[in-house]
Amino acid sequence: MRITRVLGGALLALGLAAGPAVADSPSPSASGDGSDGKAPTQAGTSFRTATEIEQGEQATASGSTGDYLYWSFPADTGQRPTVRATVKLPDTHGAQTWRLDVYDGLRRRQSCQYGADSRTTARGASSVELACVLRTVRGWSEPWANDPLPGTYYVRLTVADLGSADLGLPVSAEVRVDSKDIGGAAAVDGSLGKPLVPGIAVKSAAEKDGSKTAVLSSFGSDDGWSSGWWSDRWVWTAIGAALAALAGIGGYTLTRGSGRPSRVPPNA
């Protein structure tokens, strides 16, 4: 049983050591609820001019029906982003269909795991609410796949169907992005060389030759992304291996007996 005590102590030490490592994984998720008064109050009109928002901020913008409103936000490995948008409509209007689309850093449209990303409002409705829960962001993917990868994501909000009389009416929108940390359950064996942040590859090349090149997004510093080989899946794998070893030792101890025969034969 001495071996059992040694393995138990090692398992406890492994758990204590792994706790801070998991907690210290950097993430570009944002600061609180955006109550510092610095949340954006306008939206971009294209991918290139998308307004940057952080997770946890509630951005607002004013526009007109028929406009395309764009925001961008960062999402890292293991996060499952949820994008919510509320559009406040004018007092008088006809039936309208609003749509919320999310694109990754390569401008590939990402499908919603669940949520109402398109809704039709009744005549005279005061507002419409949209939501899109994306798939969990992966650290690596096949080139042909459309899996969400770490980097910049774009939100596009627009009206998809309306009567000609409602075109150009003033509206206001609220957008918020939150994420649930899925952790090692979504970990894969691989990582990107760089997150999908527009301009980051150009910036890296420019830093080597000393030139100055504009970067389309400011998300993600050199140490601001947690993509890599480490995840808490390694911790659970080590714990499972240690428990399997303990079970093997316990089973062997129970089945081998005392090591002496139950009956001593008489002396010949």
Tokens representing 96 are 């309208």
Say whether pLDDT at 46 is over 70: yes
Check: CB of residue 154 under 8 Å from CB of residue 71: yes
Task: For 29, list phi and psi in degrees, rounded to 5.
Answer: -65, 160
Closest CA to 110 of 63, 59, 75: 75
- Specify the range with the lowest mean pLDDT, choosing from 27-31, 90-94, 96-100, 148-152: 27-31
Q: Which pLDDT tens digit goes with each residue over 139-182?
A: 877 778 888 888 999 999 999 999 889 999 999 999 999 999 88
| DSSP characters over 217-247 | -----TTS---SS--THHHHHHHHHHHHHHH
Q: How long is the chain?
A: 268
Say whether pLDDT at 78 is over 80: yes
- Looking at the DSSP bridge assignments, the partners of residue 73 are 153
Task: For 44, list phi and psi in degrees, rounded to 5.
Answer: -80, 175
- Please state, rounded to an integer, the average pLDDT across all residues of the chain: 76
Check: CB of residue 134 under 8 Å from CB of residue 110: yes
Say whether pLDDT at 17 is over 80: no
Q: H-helix or E-strand containing 2?
A: helix 2-23
What are the helix (H) ranges across 80-232?
200-209
Q: Which pLDDT tens digit goes with each residue over 198-250?
A: 765 444 444 555 544 444 455 554 445 555 555 566 666 778 888 888 888 88
Report the distance separating Cα 265 and Cα 268, nearest Å: 9
Task: Give the pLDDT confidence score for residue 232 in this predicted structure.
Answer: 63
Say whether pLDDT at 28 is over 70: no
Q: Which pLDDT tens digit goes with each residue over 101-112?
A: 999 988 999 999
Question: What domains lie within the chain, and their CATH numbers?
Answer: 28-182 (2.60.120)
Report the distance separating Cα 179 and Cα 242, nearest Å: 32
